[in-house]
Amino acid sequence: MNSSAHRAALVGLVVTVVLIVTAVVVPALLDWQVWPRVHLDDGTFPPLHGYPQVKVGIGTLPAVLLALASLRWADPMAKRLPWRRLLLVAYAAGLVWLLALALVDGPEGISRVLGNPTEYLETARAVDDVPGLLREYVSRIPYDAPEGNWPVHIAGHPPGMVLFFVLLVKVGLGGDLAAGLVVIALAATLPLAVMTTVRVLGAEDAARAAAPYLVLSPSAVFLAVSADAVMATTVAWGLCCLALACRGIRRDVLVGLPAGNGQERPVVSGLAGLLWAVLAGLVLGIVVFMSYGLLLTGVLALAVIWLGRGWRVLPIAIASAVAVALTFAAGGFAWWEAYPVLVDRYWDGLASQRPGAYWTWGNLAALAISAGPLVGAGLGATWAARREPADRVVVVLVAAAVIMIALADASQMSRAEVERIWLPFIPWLTLGCALLPEQWRRPGLALQLLTALLVQHLLYTSW
């Protein structure tokens, strides 16, 4: 098994590196205008939304020091620390990693993206009537909206993210820097949610093995500054709730059986499962109102339910999610009415000028850069382990992530700018790194850390 995993991992890594190099080199060699240069006067660096810019900042030294320390201690700590202490260390390390990478650009590295007029925050500051916002939301998506169209990110997403930033504004955290720090604090919990989900599904060893790659992912470059980090984190915690619901509901079969002393077992676990199911449905229902593409999260949700043997959870979670949709509809925003309008706006804009012949595979190269090239090796190792019962949880979750990414890419609704759009899917794809052979672990982590440092220090990234 180890030799086959080694070969499969090597093939996956080589294919991923070739994909990245090809996506970067081909447009330059063929003078292929894969998207209009009007956006970036300094040039472009496809497949990323950015351009070359060498820089060093106040975050450089802590980022490098954390990377070096992680190579020495991340794996041993992930294997040996008690679970709760591991979660605390993972959160602290993730927080430092996110902050350090963002601060390579100085304090504006945290605030610049969210403060952009095309983002959510500026619109959120102007909202003083939430019901009115919902009622006029769909009518202001088209470019030719009589009352003025929404900025690109508001128009391209349901109102969930705008409402999140409206909430931040109302509680006094609506400044560019303050909102950025909130996003970072939330994004640092993302690995914890994924690790806990895997552990609840019965694969604690895999959760521990994946921890260094989840916490120190190159995607931190984009998580630290992007509203999509909030979406990714919400997805992960929703799936964690779903896994907890499966465990609770499954234990409910014990209710009514003798406990050995003439008493019946209590209904506590079954009730907890019910509550977790309701919460999971609410959270995952909200996710769909953060991004249209996150409807694909349903693939991962079904994978979690199947692994957790908790099919009785499904109708409860669906009912809760439907309640979220009906609440938005009652407020004036119907998801099913808005999406077709968005599709029209999307193809009326720059998407029609971005060649699908490039972006169909260029999107995947952007994913590989954001997630780090080691995910290709992880996919290879996952393929090699597909028949191993002990690796079933990781194999199924990674397969679900691959299916979601394939569906999103095939939709052609995400030509370019996907290094941030893929963020909700990347942690689940990264789980495959848990199955890498032992001799791959430290070099693989080094490759991921180096990727993050190079992207942050050599490129101006717009997200």
CB proximity list for 111: less than 8 A, separation 6 or greater: 175, 176, 177, 179, 180
Tokens 């692994």 locate to 307
Mean pLDDT along residues 246-266:
49
What was the pLDDT predicted at 151? 94
Mean pLDDT along residues 214-236:
97
Q: Is the pLDDT of residue 253 over 80?
A: no
Confidence of residue 256 (pLDDT cuts 50, 70, 90): very low
Mean pLDDT along residues 73-87:
98
What was the pLDDT predicted at 125? 97
What is the CB neighbour count within 10 angstroms for residue 25?
11
What was the pLDDT predicted at 361? 96
203 is a domain residue = yes
Q: Is the pLDDT of residue 254 over 80?
A: no
What was the pLDDT predicted at 220? 98
Per residue in 253-278, is it b (16+ CB within 10 Å) or e — as a string? eeeeeeeeeeeebeeebbebbbebbb
391 is a domain residue = yes
Q: Is the pLDDT of residue 111 over 70?
A: yes
260 is a domain residue = no
Pairwise CA distance, residues 224 & 184, whole Å: 5
Q: Is the pLDDT of residue 185 over 60?
A: yes
Q: Is the pLDDT of residue 302 over 70?
A: yes
Mean pLDDT along residues 192-211:
98
Q: Is the pLDDT of residue 165 over 60?
A: yes
The residue with greater pLDDT, 158 or 349, is 158
Q: With pLDDT > 70 as the criterion, what percentage of the chain qualifies?
A: 93
29 is a domain residue = yes
What was the pLDDT predicted at 268? 40
What was the pLDDT predicted at 261? 45
Residue 362 identity (one-letter amino acid) = G
Contact yes or no for 297/424 (Cβ under 8 A): yes
User: pLDDT tens for residues 389-441?
Assistant: 999 999 999 999 999 999 999 999 988 888 999 999 999 999 999 999 999 99
Pairwise CA distance, residues 113 & 92, whole Å: 23
Contact yes or no for 213/398 (Cβ under 8 A): no
Q: What's the domain range around 193?
A: 2-254+265-461
Q: Is the pLDDT of residue 325 over 90?
A: yes
Mean pLDDT along residues 184-213:
98
C-alpha 135, offset from chain centre:
29
Q: Provide the mean pLDDT of the chain.
A: 92
User: pLDDT tens for residues 18-62?
Assistant: 999 999 999 989 888 887 544 444 567 899 988 899 999 999 999
What was the pLDDT predicted at 36? 58
User: What is the sign of the dihedral through the CA atoms of 213, 214, 215 and 221?
Assistant: positive
211 is a domain residue = yes
Whether the full predicted model's pTM is greater than 0.85, yes or no, is yes
- Measured at the CA of 288, the angle between CA 286 and CA 291, to 5 degrees, comes to 115
Backbone angles phi, psi at 371, to 5 degrees: -80, -20
Q: What is the 3-state secondary structure (H, E, C) of the chain?
A: CHHHHHHHHHHHHHHHHHHHHHHHHHHHHHCCCCCCHHHCCCCCECCECEEECCCCCCCHHHHHHHHHHHHHHHHHHHHHCCHHHHHHHHHHHHHHHHHHHHHHHCCHHHHCCCCCCCCHHHHHHHCCCHHHHHHHCHHHCCCCCCCCCCCHHHHCCCCHHHHHHHHHHHCCCCCHHHHHHHHHHHHCCHHHHHHHHHHHCCCHHHHHHHHHHHHCCCCHHHHCCCCHHHHHHHHHHHHHHHHHHHHHHHHHHHCCCECCCCCECCCHHHHHHHHHHHHHHHHHHHHHCCCHHHHHHHHHHHHHHHHHCCCCHHHHHHHHHHHHHHHHHHHCCCHHHHHHHHHHHHHHCHHHHCCHHHHHHHHHHHHHHHHCCHHHHHHHHHHHCCCCHHHHHHHHHHHHHHHHHHHHHHCCCCCCCHHHHCCCCHHHHHHHHHHCCHHHHHHHHHHHHHHHHHHHHHEEECC
User: pLDDT tens for residues 354-396?
Assistant: 899 999 999 999 999 999 999 999 999 999 999 999 999 999 9
259 is a domain residue = no
Nearest to 154 by CA among 115, 114, 183, 118: 118
What was the pLDDT predicted at 319? 98
The residue with greater pLDDT, 191 or 416, is 191
What was the pLDDT predicted at 415? 85
386 is a domain residue = yes
Lowest mean per-residue pLDDT among 1-10, 123-132, 274-283, 334-343? 1-10
Q: Is the pLDDT of residue 255 over 90?
A: no
C-alpha 379, offset from chain centre:
17
Mean pLDDT along residues 211-225:
97
317 is a domain residue = yes
Helix pair 176-187, 228-251: axis angle to 10 deg? 30
Mean pLDDT along residues 254-261:
37
Contact yes or no for 337/138 (Cβ under 8 A): yes
If one counts the domains in the chain, the total is 1
